[in-house]
Amino acid sequence: MKTLNLHCDYIKFKALKKAIKSIDELAPNQNLEAESKECLVVLIAVEKTDNKSTIPKIVDDIKKITNEIKTKNIVLYPYAHLSSNLSSPETAIQILQTTKSELQKANCDVVLAPFGYYKTFELKVKGHPLSELSREFTNNKITDDELTDEQRERILKEISKSTLDTSKLKENDHRIIGRKMNLWSFNSVAPGMVFWHSKGLHIKNKLIELWREIHRTEGYEEISTPQIMDRKLWEISGHWSKYGENNFRTIYEKRDFLVKPMNCPGGMLIYKTSPKSYKDLPLRIGELGVVHRVELSGVLAGLFRVIQFTQDDAHIFCTENQLEQEVAKIVKIIQQIFSLFNLKFDHVELSTRPEKRIGSDKIWDATEKSLEKILKKLKLKYSINKGDGAFYGPKIDFHLKDSLNRTWQCSTIQLDMALPERFNLTYSDEKRNDKTPIMLHRVVFGSLERFIGIITEHLDGNFPLWLSPNQIKIMTLNDDVKDYANKIFQKLFNDGFQVELNDKNESMGKKAREAQIQKFNYLLTVGEKEKSENKVAVRKRNSKEITTTTLDEFITHLKKEISSKTL
Ligand SMILES: [Zn+2]
């Protein structure tokens, strides 16, 4: 609620024309014309966030002012122009009338000017220091029981409407595929953040499973660090001052906290919990950390540009001698993962020392040279991005090309000469001298959300069996085979497959179309013939060929396809 309090010699007002058609039904018997003298005129705009808990605040405030200026005459004057966030007329009328009667209980003489009318008014302000006071009342705590039914309905309607305008999107846009396949959605209550539906989460979890399997084999440990951490930590890392605008801040027990925009500083603290020696290196520590970075809500685009995302982060602590081998190992992981999706490198970029940097030229010479050497050795086509490295070290960016000929930068390897020093990370070398390790930041997927968006469009929703949330759809030809179909469903379900049964009394054409839209990998038809032969009729996605097989044979085939991760 916003108010402007004016101590006046007089005010005269008159309603001229209805501003709300049905105002006489909403608020019958309003005082359409009046004059008041030696009064406090309170211009009021009731806002969306106001409810009955706002009333005591404004009543107390008006009482205080009238005591100070020594008058009992009050004119409550609805004045919409004070706010661009007005409440509904019903709420405003209710609040104004209750405020009036509360003030009358305190022996004030109160006039309520008409609501919902265009009015003409004339007043004369006294001009002493207390004669003009503006106020703003906010409700920080809106709990469910404080909302009126009407308010709750309105808010609910507001947040339930779809924000996805599909008219400008292409058919294979991941937002459209996501809706058809029931994978994810977005809502204005959480801009740039994904609501994962069960099937979309299945994809994300499968990618994480793959990531864990590969990294475990490659000698990585996995950690998890807190979501919000004290500003002290971010002052050391430089995020508090440097990227202040891009961070979400929060307060707890009067301490400033940052919602983590990066995982590294938390990881540094784990490194420091125990002394390290050269025997512990290389130390490879991964974290699937959820990070938040502020973006303008106007530039958000589904999974491609998000505020909250899961980074498949890892930090590698090593000696200078181990650097080459470690970078080569990372490149191997990157190639291994992307080959599963038939995503090839378009080009690789090596970014070198910028003008503003830390570290001696000698160390920049050495690190740039060793990164280049590795790229040559791996026979990767690369270009040099002169001066585009981070201030703390050179980096390698990997650009992929998808089936639509678009390029994407997902993976990156960054050498860091700053953070280990800032956090005083050390290890003792063979001669028991304290040394600072070299650190690599690296991601493969980059953001899991974005990567899922990329492969959804790259594959046009045709997820390979191992990743697919819609693996098998069983469809019945008639009601007589329901029991048999259900038996097949149970067997596949118990074996852990993503299987669904459609035994509705609908035409086969309709059932098949539905399953095709949802991109099921396999369609199983069950009719009398299949039941009597104890078999299933199988059709693969995007194929016309139907093969009849026993369920066991089919399961063996599925398992083989899953373990080979064929596309
Ligand atoms: Zn990092």
CA nearest 255: which of 231, 239, 225?
231
Indicate if 311 belongs to the active site: yes
Higher local confidence (pLDDT), 138 or 280:
280
Q: Please tell me the distance between residue 442's alpha carbon and the centre of ligand 1 in angstroms.
A: 7
Tell me, what's the pLDDT at 140?
62
Indicate if 293 belongs to the active site: yes
* Mean pLDDT computed over 258-266: 94
- Three-state DSSP at 54 gives helix
For 4-27, how does the pLDDT look when each residue is reduced to its tens digit (9 = 90+)? 999 999 999 999 999 999 899 889
pTM comes to: 0.75
Print burial letters for 312-332: b (CB count within 10 Å at least 16), e (below 16): bbbbbbbeeebbeebbebbbe
Q: In the structure, what pLDDT confidence band is assigned to residue 169 with cuts at 50, 70 and 90?
A: confident
Q: Please tell me the distance between residue 389's alpha carbon and the centre of ligand 1 in angstroms.
A: 15
Q: Please tell me the distance between residue 217's alpha carbon and the centre of ligand 1 in angstroms.
A: 21
- Active-site residue (options: 441, 458, 531, 535): 441
Q: Please tell me the distance between residue 238's alpha carbon and the centre of ligand 1 in angstroms.
A: 13
CA nearest 421: which of 407, 409, 434?
434
Report the phi/psi class of residue 379: left, alpha or beta, with left for phi > 0 and alpha for psi in -120 to 50.
left
Strand partners, 40: 7, 74
Q: State phi, psi for 508 to the nearest 5 degrees.
A: -60, -40
Number of residues in the chain: 567
* Mean pLDDT computed over 380-397: 92
Q: Please tell me the distance between residue 406's alpha carbon and the centre of ligand 1 in angstroms.
A: 27
Q: Please tell me the distance between residue 69's alpha carbon and the centre of ligand 1 in angstroms.
A: 61
- Check pLDDT > 70 for residue 142: no
Tell me, what's the pLDDT at 163?
65
Tell me, what's the pLDDT at 74?
96
For 202-236, how does the pLDDT look when each residue is reduced to its tens digit (9 = 90+)? 999 999 999 999 999 999 999 999 999 999 999 99
Tell me, what's the pLDDT at 258?
94
At 507, list the tokens: 């035409």
- Active-site residue (options: 202, 204, 315, 519): 315
Report the phi/psi class of residue 534: left, alpha or beta, with left for phi > 0 and alpha for psi in -120 to 50.
left
Report the phi/psi class of residue 302: left, alpha or beta, with left for phi > 0 and alpha for psi in -120 to 50.
left
Q: Please tell me the distance between residue 77's alpha carbon and the centre of ligand 1 in angstroms.
A: 58
- Active-site residue (options: 293, 435, 487, 557): 293
Residues with CB under 5 A from ligand 1 (ion): 264, 441
Tell me, what's the pLDDT at 143?
53
- Check pLDDT > 80 for residue 557: yes
Tell me, what's the pLDDT at 357?
83
Q: Which domains does the chain have, with CATH numbers?
A: 2-156 (3.50.80.10), 197-225+263-458 (3.30.930.10), 472-564 (3.40.50.800)
Q: Please tell me the distance between residue 373's alpha carbon and the centre of ligand 1 in angstroms.
A: 23
Indicate if 395 belongs to the active site: yes
Q: Please tell me the distance between residue 456's alpha carbon and the centre of ligand 1 in angstroms.
A: 27
Q: Please tell me the distance between residue 160's alpha carbon and the centre of ligand 1 in angstroms.
A: 37
Indicate if 128 belongs to the active site: no
Tell me, what's the pLDDT at 137?
87
* Mean pLDDT computed over 237-241: 83
- Active-site residue (options: 50, 313, 402, 416): 313
- Three-state DSSP at 295 gives coil
- Check pLDDT > 80 for residue 139: no
Mean pLDDT over the full length of the chain: 92
Higher local confidence (pLDDT), 140 or 380:
380
- Active-site residue (options: 50, 260, 276, 311): 311
Higher local confidence (pLDDT), 138 or 542:
542
For 75-130, how does the pLDDT look when each residue is reduced to its tens digit (9 = 90+)? 999 999 898 889 989 999 999 999 999 999 999 999 999 999 999 999 999 998 88
Q: Please tell me the distance between residue 235's alpha carbon and the centre of ligand 1 in angstroms.
A: 16
